[in-house]
Chains A and B, each alone.
Chain A
Amino acid sequence: MPFDSRTLIDPGFFSRLESIELRARAIVEGSMHGRHRSPFLGMSVEFASHREYAPGDDLRHLNWMLYARHDRLYVKEYDAETNLNLHLLVDASASMSCANSGRSKLHYAATLAAAIAHLALKQGDAVSLTLFANEVIAHLPPRAKAIQLDAILAALANAKPKPATDSDRALHQAAVMTGRRGMVVVLGDLFGDLDAIVGGLDHLRYLNHEVVVFHIMDPYERDLSVDGHIRFQDMESGETLTAQAEAIRAAYVKTVADWRDRLETECRRRAIDRIELTTSEPPDQALFDYLVRRSRTF
């Protein structure tokens, strides 16, 4: 259901975010050499300058001509690709409408997506947005302009959840749309066939994207923290099941935990960061904590 785009913006939170840098892992890894770290130097095609060789530098970048001339070792420096392409993939399937905590998962994901987009655009990075359910619903190509945020907010606010039975196909479609290597942030509940979803994530990794998954769940979906005789309704298919919550809670929680563990294992294998959130947690704090952790790492 569409919601007010202004609800996606928290000025106080956004100002806090400005103290954080969103760094792509690939950029940081590529720029790490010697004692210096430069977020802006990396594997670029443009030669910038030479500097004296220091132990640990990549020997592929040694300039042998200079060595022959000067009998001293020099490495080539390239201009870093300072522009990070950030791709936001937001799950807009019907299951994201689940709002038992008072806030729907889609709204939660949109809030996170808005914050991340703001951060990236502030850094001068290009941000794209893809809404998907059974297939890609909407796509905004990456742009680094400030006005891109408005477009993103509008698209998020107007997102209408649609039933989805085949989320992995949408992921494959979204992957194709991402273009050159960058950072992909997937925000969704990842319900569905796990192998198929992992296949979609594999596609993204195949394209050399850094993938971060914000796995958003409703508290009831994770813990079944409800008592009594309950009729449970599937928001995707509309099917219902009735059960005594206390009688099945333990088995349900274990089943969900097993699924989450498996998902976590698959993400780790693919060097995908998975951040598990529930809609009962404040999204700003959750994102902030993650970004702080990430900035310390990179």
Chain B
Amino acid sequence: MQFVQYGMLGALAALAIPIVIHLLFRNRPKTIELGTLQFLVIVLRENARRRKLKRWLLLILRLAAVFLIALLFARPYLLATESSVADDRLAILLVDRSASMGLKGNGNATSLSRAIDKAQSVISSVGPKTQVEVALFDRTVRSLGDPRGLNRELKPSAGVGTDYSTAFAWARDVCVRSKRPKQEIHLFTDLQRSGLRQSEAVALAPGIDVRVVDVGRAFPKNVAVTAVEASPSTPRPGGTLTITASVFNASPMPVSSLPVRLHLESGDAERDMDKIVDLDGATTKQIVFELKDSPKGLWRGYVEASLEGDELRFDDRRYLAIDVAPPATVWLLDGDAGRYAGGDETYFLNAALRLAPEGKKYDKTPFDPKVVDVSVSGVPDLEGAGAVVLANVANLSAADARRLAAFVSDGGGLVVFTGDRFGSPAAQSLSHVGLGVGEVVDAQATVDLPWRLDRWEESHPIFRPFADPEHGDLHRPAFNTITRIKPSTSARVLASYRGGTPALLESSHGKGKVLWFTSACDRDWGNWPRGRLYVPLVHQILAYATGLAEGGSVRRVPSSEDSAPGVIASGRTVRVTNADPFESDMARCTIKDLASRFGFRLPGPTATAANVSTTTSERGTTDERLRPNEIWPYLAAGLFGILLLEQFLANRTSA
């Protein structure tokens, strides 16, 4: 036990007062004569022992009262935290390791280090029967299993934001699984308000105590690049590329002459641009970099704001990758070229991919379709192409099939549209080279109701944009004839007509994808090219085949424990990982905000200042604040009881 006011213990000298009073100032008795004392002798003899006991008890009570009074003013408190009492319990320790916990304090220790120290002191104070669960959290939760894994070598997550909902949901689940009668959660965090952005409702059970330890501090000196966008999103070689960066000043103090640099490199080429900006406190500014005559290539780089004395470095740089490339070449191999343009099998498909009438170009289309009469020219040179479309092709030579297989194996995409000419020979020639999806049964024409798409994989990149019915109802395109295909075991049915008849099948060959659509791409087998869903659907199919449906060659990946901020090439794609921009906002919430959001009760006054410790390390300091483990209420209650008892006994005891 320790005391807030050690000086008041001097009042214990007052213990001598009752003794002095007892010994020196006893009541002088009044004398009364009685005819005989024979009765008094009997009474006193019978009660002598009891009276002696009462006198001693009275003295003890008076000494105890003085003792308690002195102790009350000294304000004792228990050394161990409340978590050491009542041993059979579950103690969950949630340590925030988001990027913002890398903020250093006055003593050069980061917020995470301080959090780990405090968590370790809690662990060391619990009893042997207490079950301890320790987890680190940012946007995900990682349970440590062994509490000894919590050590100062741990670093904050690189660029990962904070999500209190995830942490409390994990803790809630642990509590539900535990059978311990008493459960408590200790949260060590910098109380970053952005951690409350997620609105998932997490309600803790009523009996769980939650203690929040604040290890953060307000108003750090920090400038962050929170966003970088390139425009256009698919730049073409020779065009102008505009890169807009958002720079945020997290400090309330203005920043002047802040250098901001754009750095891009592609192969041996590099491009750097610098700008100087002034930022008011707690504001975001857009900084625009223009690059003219962008050469072709995959450019990787970053935008960086360098502030001297910046206390959080993880958000100083934001990465980007830009693929400056021409539209993807798509070879349309027409298997039924007509005598006039409108009669070509690929007429509608070509127009849809070109997004422009015949003879015209639309710069923003991602595709550059080229039509070839396969029966005349065969399969062309596929170098540099993104995908090949076989439109109602009757047959392929073995050599052409092999070239197609090599193209797909190398990462290209193959899309097959059936039709009245397409049949088993074409299917077999493709299957022989690994480009098949199953056995062609026959072409089936509808008798009454047209064929319509009945089911499709909504999560597939082809169909994802159609998840919202307002973007188009895929039930509407109608077909009067389809090709029935019995899927192979390696093929995947992405969409089907009524009765489960496959409509769109996918398989892979090497690095590339193979897609078979079991109807024609022109109006021979249905009027669907005239429907408003024809363009977006064929765009999605070709975008998937060419890799553009998943963002093209540049993939944006959120930062995580396994993915630090940066640009990493992976095959034909480049992964760009950046820090969570919300993590740069150091606006703080209060513990009450947390309690109100997650529905837990605070057991008592908790540490709200950054430097208040819940450990026992502060000895002998005069601290006027009310501590959660002070025991003066119990002392006051005990004193009251003792005084009552003393009064009762004093009236019935002779000195």
> Quick check: is A297 within 8 A (CB to CB) of the other chain?
no
Contacts of A226 in B (CB 8 A): 30, 32
Contacts of A233 in B (CB 8 A): 31-34, 37
* B654 contact from A189, A247, A255, Cβ within 8 A: A247
* A229 contact from B29, B35, B652, Cβ within 8 A: B29
Interface string of A207-221 (1 = CB under 8 A from B): 000000000011011
Given contacts A231-B30, A248-B44, are A259 and B39 in contact (CB under 8 A)?
A: yes
> Quick check: is B27 within 8 A (CB to CB) of the other chain?
yes
Which chain A residue lies CB-closest to B54?
Answer: A247
> Quick check: is B616 within 8 A (CB to CB) of the other chain?
no
Are B652 and A218 interface neighbours, CB within 8 A?
no
Which residues in chain A, 95-135, are within 8 Å of chain B measured between CB atoms?
95-100, 105
Which chain B residue lies CB-closest to A94?
Answer: B35
Tell me the smallest distance from the CB of B655 to a CB of chain A, in Å: 7
Tell me the smallest distance from the CB of A162 to a CB of chain B, in Å: 14
* B655 contact from A98, A105, A244, A248, Cβ within 8 A: A244
> Quick check: is B41 within 8 A (CB to CB) of the other chain?
yes
Are B40 and A241 interface neighbours, CB within 8 A?
yes
B-side interface size class: 20 to 34
> Quick check: is A275 within 8 A (CB to CB) of the other chain?
no
Contacts of A14 in B (CB 8 A): none
> Quick check: is A264 within 8 A (CB to CB) of the other chain?
no
Contacts of B37 in A (CB 8 A): 232-234, 237, 239, 241
Tell me the smallest distance from the CB of B49 to a CB of chain A, in Å: 13
Are A230 and B33 interface neighbours, CB within 8 A?
no
Contacts of A137 in B (CB 8 A): none
> Quick check: is A11 within 8 A (CB to CB) of the other chain?
no
Given contacts A218-B34, A236-B36, are A230 and B29 in contact (CB under 8 A)?
A: yes
> Quick check: is A29 within 8 A (CB to CB) of the other chain?
no
Contacts of A237 in B (CB 8 A): 37
> Quick check: is A18 within 8 A (CB to CB) of the other chain?
no
> Quick check: is B653 within 8 A (CB to CB) of the other chain?
yes
> Quick check: is A12 within 8 A (CB to CB) of the other chain?
no
Contacts of A247 in B (CB 8 A): 47, 51, 652-654
Contacts of A218 in B (CB 8 A): 34-35
Given contacts A228-B27, A255-B43, are A242 and B36 in contact (CB under 8 A)?
A: no
Given contacts A228-B30, A232-B40, A241-B40, are A96 and B46 in contact (CB under 8 A)?
A: no
> Quick check: is B42 within 8 A (CB to CB) of the other chain?
yes
> Quick check: is A191 within 8 A (CB to CB) of the other chain?
yes
Which residues in chain B, 1-39, are within 8 Å of chain A measured between CB atoms?
26-39
> Quick check: is B651 within 8 A (CB to CB) of the other chain?
yes
Are A191 and B29 interface neighbours, CB within 8 A?
no
Are A243 and B35 interface neighbours, CB within 8 A?
no
Are B41 and A241 interface neighbours, CB within 8 A?
yes
* B40 contact from A95, A98, A252, Cβ within 8 A: A252
Contacts of A252 in B (CB 8 A): 39-40, 43
Are A244 and B653 interface neighbours, CB within 8 A?
yes
Tell me the smallest distance from the CB of B30 to a CB of chain A, in Å: 6
Are A235 and B39 interface neighbours, CB within 8 A?
no
Contacts of B39 in A (CB 8 A): 252, 255-256, 259
Are B35 and A230 interface neighbours, CB within 8 A?
no
With the chains together, A259 CA to B39 CA distance in Å?
A: 9
Tell me the smallest distance from the CB of B551 to a CB of chain A, in Å: 96
State the B residues within 8 Å of A (CB).
26-44, 46-47, 51, 651-655
Interface CB pairs A-B, < 8 A, 24: A95-B34, A98-B33, A105-B35, A191-B36, A192-B36, A217-B35, A220-B34, A229-B29, A229-B654, A232-B33, A233-B31, A233-B33, A233-B37, A234-B36, A241-B37, A241-B41, A243-B40, A244-B653, A247-B47, A248-B44, A248-B47, A252-B40, A256-B39, A259-B39
Seed contacts A221-B34, A235-B36, A252-B43; 9 additional CB < 8 Å A-B pairs: A99-B33, A218-B35, A226-B30, A228-B29, A230-B31, A232-B31, A232-B40, A236-B35, A243-B44
Those 9 A-B pairs whose CB atoms lie nearest each other, nearest first? A244-B654, A95-B35, A191-B36, A229-B27, A231-B29, A234-B37, A229-B29, A251-B43, A98-B35
